[in-house]
Amino acid sequence: MTNEITWLGHSCFSIRAGKYDLLVDPFLDESPTSPVKAAEVAADFILLTHAHFDHLADAIPIARRTGATVVANFEICEWLKGQGVAEEKVVAMNPGGGVDLAFGRAKMTSAVHSSSLPDGSYGGVAGGFLLELGKSRIYFAGDTALFLDMKLYSLGGLDVAVLPIGDVFTMGPDDSIEAIKMLNPRRVVPCHYGTWPPIVQDAAAWADRVRTHTAAEPVVLNPGEMFTL
Ligand code: NI
Ligand code: MN
164 Cα–ligand 2 center, Å: 9
Query: Where does 3-218 sit in CATH, by number?
Result: 3.60.15.10
Whether 119 contacts 77, CB under 8 Å: no
Angle at 191 between CA 187 and CA 192, to 5 degrees: 160
Q: At what angle do helices 173-183 and 203-213 cross, to 10 degrees?
A: 40
Q: Which ligand is nearest to the CA of 199?
A: 2
**pLDDT, position 1:** 72
Q: Among candidates 102, 103, 174, which has minimal Cα distance to 138?
A: 103
Q: Which ligand is nearest to the CA of 166?
A: 2
50 Cα–ligand 1 center, Å: 7
59 Cα–ligand 2 center, Å: 15
1 Cα–ligand 1 center, Å: 31
Q: Among candidates 154, 155, 162, 151, which has minimal Cα distance to 129?
A: 162
**pLDDT, position 213:** 98
218 Cα–ligand 1 center, Å: 23
1 Cα–ligand 2 center, Å: 30
**pLDDT, position 68:** 98
Neighbours of ion ligand 2 (CB under 5 A): 54, 143
**pLDDT, position 176:** 98
pLDDT in single tens digits along all 229 residues of the chain: 779 999 999 999 999 999 999 999 999 999 999 999 999 999 999 999 999 999 999 999 999 999 999 999 999 999 999 999 999 999 999 999 999 999 999 999 999 999 999 999 999 999 999 999 999 999 999 999 999 999 999 999 999 999 999 999 999 999 999 999 999 999 999 999 999 999 999 999 999 999 999 999 999 999 999 999 8
**pLDDT, position 211:** 98
Q: Which pTM value belongs to this model?
A: 0.98
**pLDDT, position 172:** 98
Please report the beta strands in the chain, taking only residues with DSSP state E, as ranges in sequence order.
3-7, 13-17, 20-24, 45-47, 69-73, 90-93, 98-101, 104-110, 127-133, 136-140, 160-164, 187-191, 217-218, 226-228
Quick count: other Cβ atoms within 10 Å of Cβ 225? Answer: 13
**pLDDT, position 57:** 97
Q: Which ligand is nearest to the CA of 198?
A: 2
60 Cα–ligand 2 center, Å: 18
Angle at 68 between CA 67 and CA 69, to 5 degrees: 120
**pLDDT, position 222:** 98
